Chains A and B, each alone.
Chain A
Amino acid sequence: MRNTATIAGLVTIVALSAAAGVSKRRTAIVAPKEDVTITFSRGFVDAGPMTHRTTEHIGVRIDSRSGGVRRAILRASLPNVDPNAIVRIDGITLRALPVVIDSRAEIGAMTLHRIEIEVPASAPEGALMTSIVWEVETP
């Protein structure tokens, strides 16, 4: 009985010690905030003069400094939705909240995406500018 109690006590101490080690480990292995990066094939997209609808292509490359993952989730959104323009990426309509463009985006490769801008007939003519926010998240 005494032996059992001793063993139980040792187990508890070891378990606590192991948990403390995990806590230290967690602090040490947090990935850098910018471990993954997004780069575009061009700085901005100028679709030029358009009527009704136009399509452009943009290359998007995701890189990971740690190199620990090969796939990532790519999302996009329009922070400032313009009622006079519908923006789609690969056929997916963008909104204020991010939508998944590619749930298994390859890391380390430039992938082409199709940007489609559609303007309703009621929209006024003139300059159009919008910003697409791209987000990448590794598993």
Chain B
Amino acid sequence: MKKILVLTFISSLAVASSAFAATSSATLTVTATVDSSISMTIESAGGTTSGTGTSAATSALGSISKYGSAPTGFTLARGASNWTLSSTVGVQVDKANLTSTDYTLTAQLGSAPASGVAWKLNGSTLSDSAATTLTSTGTYGSTGSYSWDIVVADSAAAAAIDNTINFTATSN
């Protein structure tokens, strides 16, 4: 008799415990506005380059001279009154959430070039006062290769020729 009552009590507890399980739900609304965007990376360049794959790469050419060796990744051509270091720059533009099919890429020097030194991309001489168009039909997602020449006059002073090339990509 005692056993039966004890068992009944335990059974009651078990039923009571499972009956207490409760559930509830609530809904949270989440909104956002997806903006289109593009990103640009420098994929390659002559010289001892760091920062490739990012939007801020650096190429160190070291000491350069007409009758010395060409820097890593460059070729050297000697002219009658000047000499030219030639290489390429690889630029990639990617897009996201954008219907545009191509882009325009321009380049501009960050500061005026040293006297007697010309910076060229795709054969066009760059300046620090206006942007030069490299392409108006750039393909997203692939690296565009642009010829890069630094032309130094024999009359140029022996000094640093440091400069910055600023690329700008604009979706069409």
CB-CB under 8 A from A137, the residues of chain B are 21-23
CB-CB under 8 A from A125, the residues of chain B are 34-36, 97-98
Shortest beta-carbon distance from A5 to chain B in Å: 15
Closest residue of chain A to B98 (Cβ to Cβ) is: A125
B-contact bits for A122-139, CB 8 A (1 contact / 0 none)? 111111111111111111
A-contact bits for B22-33, CB 8 A (1 contact / 0 none)? 111111111111
CB-CB under 8 A from A1, the residues of chain B are none
CA distance A121 to B19 in the complex (A): 49
CB-CB under 8 A from A35, the residues of chain B are 20, 22, 24
**Band of interface residues on B:** 20 to 34
Q: A22-B8, A25-B16, A121-B97 are in contact. Are A32 and B32 (CB under 8 A)?
A: no
B-contact bits for A46-59, CB 8 A (1 contact / 0 none)? 11111110101010
Is the C-beta of B4 less than 8 angstroms from some C-beta in chain A? yes
CA distance A14 to B25 in the complex (A): 42
Is the C-beta of A2 less than 8 angstroms from some C-beta in chain B? no
Is the C-beta of B12 less than 8 angstroms from some C-beta in chain A? yes
CB-CB under 8 A from B21, the residues of chain A are 31, 137-139
Shortest beta-carbon distance from B21 to chain A in Å: 6
Residues of B within 8 A of A (CB): 1, 4-5, 8, 11-12, 15-16, 19-37, 94-99
Q: Give 30 A-B contacts (CB < 8 Å), ordered by A residue.
A: A18-B8, A21-B8, A29-B16, A29-B19, A31-B20, A31-B21, A32-B22, A34-B22, A38-B26, A39-B26, A44-B31, A45-B28, A45-B31, A46-B30, A46-B32, A48-B32, A51-B36, A119-B34, A119-B96, A121-B95, A124-B34, A125-B97, A125-B98, A127-B33, A128-B31, A131-B30, A132-B28, A132-B30, A134-B25, A134-B27
